[in-house]
Amino acid sequence: MSTPPPDPFDVSSWPTPPRRPDRDQRPTRPYKLSLAGLDALRAAARRTRPWTRSTGPTTPAGKERTRLNGLKHGRRSAAAVERRRLSTAAFGRVNTIMAHEDELDMLIVIVSRLARLLSIPFDELAALVERGDEQPLADTLTAAARRREVDLDELQRWLDRAARVRTVAGLDRLKLPRANPPPPTINVIHPPPVARVAKVNKSGLL
């Protein structure tokens, strides 16, 4: 019994072509048109005008699916720009408040050191500073400096430098003018009067 010849139209009987070993390692060819091909494509687009027949999505579901097609990252959208503007303004207000608090803290430290140096009550000196009247404040500081024998030029230089310092650590590096301590006050305590005791002699007479 002879074997029938193979069917030439049976695909399963066709030999498998050899696979190239470097097929997966080869980089994909980038799509790049030549100048002539690019001109032909532009001419075809101008001739057919495909944008006149494009309607886009017409159903609500299609519009919902394609509403963010042109959005890449959303950082330049109107909502993102508004959020950045509000956050920038908020941070600006916080920084302003913190700067004022730092200035207030520095002012309190300067007033306390002046009060300790010149032997002025802190409340009295702080009230003069808060009122902002420069002449009574200058008169009070001058009178106290003369009373404590503090050099007025050194005191003025310290105040000028302290006004430019922004931290308490920087204020600590400034050397305060030297003041002569006030003369000690000696409180003389008189002893209480001693009661005189009458001496009685043997005869009973004083």
Q: What is the pLDDT of residues 52-82, one digit of tens each?
A: 888 888 899 998 888 888 777 777 888 888 8
Question: In angstroms, what CA-CA distances link 50 with 54, 90, 104, 106?
Answer: 7, 49, 69, 71
Do residues 57 and 65 touch, judged by C-beta distance below 8 A?
yes
| Boundaries of every domain in the chain | 86-172
Nearest partner of 145 among 190, 115, 123, judged by Cα: 115
Q: What angle do CA 195, 200, 201 make, to 5 degrees?
A: 150
3-state helix, strand, coil in the chain (%, to 5): 55, 0, 45
pTM flag (> 0.85): no
Q: Please identify every stretch of the chain with a pLDDT value under 50, giving residue numbers as ranges.
A: 197-198, 200, 204-206
Model pLDDT, residue 47: 93
Model pLDDT, residue 205: 46
Model pLDDT, residue 45: 93
Model pLDDT, residue 44: 94
Model pLDDT, residue 42: 93
Model pLDDT, residue 206: 44
Model pLDDT, residue 151: 84
CB neighbour burial string for 27-41, b if at least 16 within 10 angstroms, e if fewer: eeeeeeeeeeeeeee
